[in-house]
Structure 1
Amino acid sequence: MSSPDGGRPITATEADRRWDPWTPSVVAARLATCPAPWAVAGGWALDLFAGAISRAHDDIEITVPRTDFPQIAAAFPEYEWDIVGEGRLWPYSSAATRPDLHQTWLRDPFTGAFHLDVFREPHDGETWICRRDPAITLPYTELIRTTTTGIPYLIPEVVLLFKAKANRPKDDSDFHRVVPLLPEHRLARLNSWLTQLHPDHPWLTEICAPAISSSPTE
């Protein structure tokens, strides 16, 4: 699929310079009355699951059903939105219909800083569909957990499944920190999904290792 008109290149250096991420508590406060089933994703979601901040985060990501994105946008009327992908940036109105572009950055129109990354995800009604393999699905009632302070986050096996593709040093660190905390049913699900998407991934050997510590109360 060709890129839509109007986009411009954005380098990793520029993106890093312009990112000023909010924290999950700030995002949750702004979305307290939003009816859409949104949840914190990425490394922040694993921290919320583990109950402790493990490292600095360069951004913050949340996920929402694609058709519910307008409900997220309505909670931030003073900001603007850009769609990012393929190393390019488009105004939301220019590329919103592209099904292969899902990352949507909230931008302060005065400073140009990015504060929030929203993943507009495929779904079928109240069922999440994995954008990397539509055979992987979950109802949103299973996909999202909530902290004791009311912050929704993606279940860790879904976060790790997406981190497995890049497997950067921070992803590998996140994996080794979180896997000992996962109960057997979450490990089994992660094992099944990784086998399906990344059958030669080195994490599979460690997931199948016999020594797994007990999980936290959910």
Structure 2
Amino acid sequence: MSEQLPPGGAELSPAELDSVVVHWAASAWTPSEIAQRLVGVATPWCVAAGWALDLFRGEQTRPHGDLEIAVPAADFPEIRDRFPGYAFDAVSSGRIWRDAAPDVLAATHQTWLRDPETEAYRVDVFREPHDGTTWISRHDPTIRLPYREIIRHTPDGIPYLTPELVLLFKAKHARPKDCVDFESTVPFLTERQQAWLAELLAHTYPGHQWLDGL
């Protein structure tokens, strides 16, 4: 994806961002709800971010302000076609493009599904870089893995991103809630998973503060 953002879009003020956060918290679907709407899609998709860690642990451990899923960028049309009557707004660097055009989608990776009737956002779709069936980390393109190795499933079939990669993404900013997620998830990882996470962190963020906890 291009680093040069397209023209247009609207800059979100702090007040507008706060309003979006409130809308998200009140209107976001749950993992079960998005899974029901995506039954039968061929593309490998998965729940990402904080919800993925809760699916891994088997219970909701904290409130979630939104729901994020990840899909291969080239397969986004299959996801989009599941939501006739909804709008997809692209978001990047504090700007939002309502009903994003193809050139905007090509230059961004984050897409908010909006209900035009209520203006409520339901799910945040990450359109991820990939090479066919190989996932590519957007933070470090040298990290490439087959989708079959990075997507797990709950007992009732909800796909979610493996926790090592969720924590790797969270390590970039390591906000307070990210640190809480790290500390509460690591005890549930096997030794092999902890070793892989340590390897990923050392490769992507040498000297990261979380390495001492692995």
| The two structures share one fold, judged by TM-score above 0.5 | yes
Matched, 1:44 2:51: yes
* TM, length-normalised to structure 1: 0.91
Of stretches 87-96 and 167-176 in structure 1, the one that deviates more from structure 2 is: 87-96
> Which amino acid counterpart does residue 142 of structure 1 have in structure 2?
E
Aligned pairs for 1:47-126 within 5 A: 47-90=54-97, 91-93=99-101, 94-98=103-107, 101-126=108-133
Alignment gaps of 5+ in structure 2 = none
Counterpart amino acid of 2:200? W
Aligned partner letter, 1:17: V
Deviating above 3 A after TM superposition, structure 1's stretches of 4 or more consecutive aligned residues are none
Alpha-carbon separation, structure 1, partners of 2:135 and 2:160: 14
- What corresponds to 2:30 in structure 1? 23
Cα distance between partner residues in 1 of 2:68 and 2:146: 20
Structure 2 matches for 1:165-204, cutoff 5 A? 165-204=172-211
Report deviation, 1:9: 1.1
Choose which of 151, 154, 166 in structure 1 pairs with 2:161. 154
Q: How many residues align?
A: 205
Matched ranges for 1:122-133 at <5 A: 122-133=129-140
Within 2, Cα distance between the matches of 1:10 and 1:150? Answer: 37
**Deviation (angstroms), 1:18:** 2.6
How far has the Cα of 1:183 moved from its partner?
A: 1.1
- Amino acid corresponding to residue 169 of structure 2 in structure 1: F
List gaps (5 residues or longer) in structure 1.
Answer: 208-218
Aligned: 1:10 with 2:15: no
Paired with 2:10 and 2:200, the residues of 1 have a C-alpha distance of 35
Give the alignment's TM-score, normalised by structure 2. 0.93
